[in-house]
A = this chain, B = another copy of it.
Amino acid sequence: MEWITKKNVLIVGLGLMGGSYARALSRLGFHVMGVDRDEEAVAYALREKIITEGSAGEAEELIRKADAIISALYPGVFPDWVQEHQHLFRPGVMMTDVTGVKSGIVYRIQELLRKDAEFIAAHPMAGKELSGIQHSDDRIFRDANYIIVPTEKNTARGIEWCGMLGRLLGCGKISVLSPEEHDEMIAFVSQLTHCIAVSLMTCSDNTHLADYTGDSFRDLTRIARINDRMWSELFMMNREPLLRQMDLFLGELTEFRNLLEKGDTESMREKMRLSTRRREAFNR
């Protein structure tokens, strides 16, 4: 019941994810504060009552008050923010993030973090193909998978706190993975699929085909509308696992292509039957 005493939550970065966390926690009665360099984002969050207090500049007072800090910053600037501001942290502060890559972040943050604070990495498998606080929406968490990514430095209390946060957001299944397991998983499940969607749109000029598409093409390429700054950072921070997964997929699709060229219908059908069986596991 950690959360009863940790009532002041600071969200760092008021974009789509930060705004969605803020909405969920404000709705539950937490005192939610927000900081962002963008004055308009802060003004919007205050006006819409997504946060109660906010600042686009000096945030010393807010940081000192925070019992919990949630970083919704781009992964590239997150360590610098901690370095610059941790002298203001309340002793015992709990910290988490929303970032989709972990090995490249969690060890660095834990290395530089004050010893009287705890950072526990986590994120929900949720988002939108739009960015900015105007599109924030706490319904994205509903039944989403929430993944906690502890290291040896985390405490049982930290892991429990983080799981509670996932539940409070409204997530469905809460899982625990190591940073390395997480990054291999995310490379396949999320990053590879975004690369595929982008490549489908860039491999030829296909915009004239919009009149002919069905739902499957629209579903497959929904994520081709992509925040290029964020995703290129995520890809670069997870380069090795993503390259491995891309190579596995490229090899497999090439094999399928070669079966088609040879006219080996039976082997194609065997792959389709395997695919059908495996896909069943993903229906919820």
Contacts and interface: CB of A to CB of B under 8 A. Distances in A.
Nearest to A253: B199
A165 interface: no
B199 A252 contact: yes
A216 B257 CA distance: 24
Interface stretch (A62-70, A150-158, A265-273): A265-273
A284 B202 CA distance: 20
A145 B213 contact: yes
Interface stretch (A29-37, A47-55, A102-110, A231-239): A231-239
A206 interface: yes
A201 B211 CA distance: 29
A200 to B, nearest CB: 7
Interface stretch (A3-11, A12-20, A87-95, A187-195): A187-195
Contact of A145 (B127, B147, B214): B214
A134 interface: no
Nearest to A147: B212
A252 to B, nearest CB: 4
Contacts of A242: 260
A214 B126 contact: yes
A272 B278 CA distance: 30
Main secondary structure of the interface of A (DSSP, over half): helix
Interface string A145-185: 10100000000000000000000000001010100000001
A196 B198 contact: no
Given A145-B212, A212-B147, A279 B224 contact: yes
B228 A216 contact: no
Interface string A232-266: 10011001001100111111111011001101010
B144 A214 contact: yes
A205 interface: yes
A253 B249 CA distance: 10
A214 B239 contact: no
Nearest to A204: B248
Given A216-B223, A219-B222, A239-B260, A253 B250 contact: yes
Contacts of A251: 203
A269 B207 contact: no
A16 B253 CA distance: 28
A280 interface: yes
A216 B225 CA distance: 12
Interface of A: 125-127, 144-145, 147, 173, 175, 177, 185-186, 188-190, 192-207, 209-226, 228-229, 231-232, 235-236, 239, 242-243, 246-254, 256-257, 260-261, 263, 265, 268-269, 271-276, 278-282, 284
